[in-house]
């Protein structure tokens, strides 16, 4: 079942089981999501940008497939949803789990380069991907599930967001808006979001270790497996948004 699909050059040849795409599937949370999907009898499509070998290993252990999916490249995104549309297996949904780590600088020192990267990976790329999946995969049966990974660092309103993560937070709010727009235009599409807190993944390398130690004293960090379970339950309708 582990067929690698780079840059739209190969056609999917899969069983009748349903596919479930995971963008950022080679990351800590994404890999755990693929494991959860496989446990539920779905075929995880491990979307990756650079971690080819990691994605291949995840696909092998989950009886899934790996798929090159660079959220900063419209050509890569278009090739990915075209391949999925050509598959003999239907696409059940997508979990948008990929994101660059936050750059920890004050709001006034946030660069246009960092803003652009976060926006492309969290908003513009997912919008193009989701639009293509709706058009080519979901619309035929008017059925599909979408879950976006947000963050508890967004807070619950103005003045409650975490400091020094401007580009990351702006992009995550952008993803929330993108998901809201998709839900408004396609009422039959099941759109959800999950907002994890600190999670034990390589993304924590963006933070000072002393800061992390203080945070762990306040509350135990979540594991990728815990977040993955939340995401998959939300995607499959086992829990509310």
pTM of the complete model: 0.87
* Residues near 33 by beta carbon (within 8 Å), at least 6 away in sequence: 22, 25, 44, 95, 97, 228, 231, 232
- What is the predicted pLDDT for the residue at 3? 52
The string of pLDDT tens digits covering residues 48-100 is 998 899 999 999 999 999 999 999 999 999 999 999 999 989 999 999 999 88
- What is the predicted pLDDT for the residue at 15? 44
Question: Quick one: tokens of 109?
Answer: 């020192």
- What is the predicted pLDDT for the residue at 204? 60
Q: How far is CA 119 from CA 167, 180, 230, in A?
A: 8, 16, 24
Residues of the chain with pLDDT under 70: 1-16, 198-201, 204, 207, 211-212, 215, 238-241
- What is the predicted pLDDT for the residue at 142? 95
How far is residue 107's CA from residue 171's CA, in Å, rounded to a whole number? 13
Under 8 Å between Cβ of 231 and 34: no
The string of pLDDT tens digits covering residues 208-219 is 777 667 767 777
Question: Quick one: tokens of 132?
Answer: 């293509």
| CATH number, domain 4-235 | 3.40.50.720
- What is the predicted pLDDT for the residue at 96? 97
Q: Which residues pair with 45 in a beta bridge?
A: 21, 65
């Amino acid at each position: 079942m582990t067929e690698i699909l780079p840059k739209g050059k190969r056609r999917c040849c899969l069983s009748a089981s349903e596919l479930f795409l995971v963008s950022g599937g080679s990351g800590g949370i994404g890999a755990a999501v693929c494991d959860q999907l496989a446990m539920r009898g779905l075929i995880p499509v491990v979307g990756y940008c650079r971690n080819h070998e990691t994605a291949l290993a995840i696909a092998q252990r989950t009886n899934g497939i790996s798929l090159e999916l660079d959220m900063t490249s419209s050509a890569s995104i278009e090739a990915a949803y075209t391949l999925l549309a050509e598959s003999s297996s239907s696409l059940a949904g997508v979990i948008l789990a990929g994101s660059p780590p936050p750059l920890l600088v004050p709001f006034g020192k946030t660069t246009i380069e960092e803003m652009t990267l976060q926006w492309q990976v969290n908003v513009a790329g997912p919008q193009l991907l989701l639009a293509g999946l709706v058009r080519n995969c979901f619309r035929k049966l008017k059925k599909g599930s979408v879950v976006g990974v947000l963050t508890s660092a967004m807070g619950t309103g103005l003045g409650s967001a975490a400091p020094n993560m401007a580009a990351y937070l702006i992009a995550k709010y952008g993803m929330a808006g993108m998901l809201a727009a998709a839900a408004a235009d396609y009422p039959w599409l099941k759109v959800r979001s999950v907002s994890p807190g600190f999670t034990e993944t390589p993304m924590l390398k963006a933070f000072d270790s002393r800061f992390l130690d203080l945070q762990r004293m306040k509350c135990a960090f979540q594991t990728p497996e815990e977040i993955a379970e939340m995401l998959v339950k939300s995607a499959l309708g086992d829990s509310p948004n």
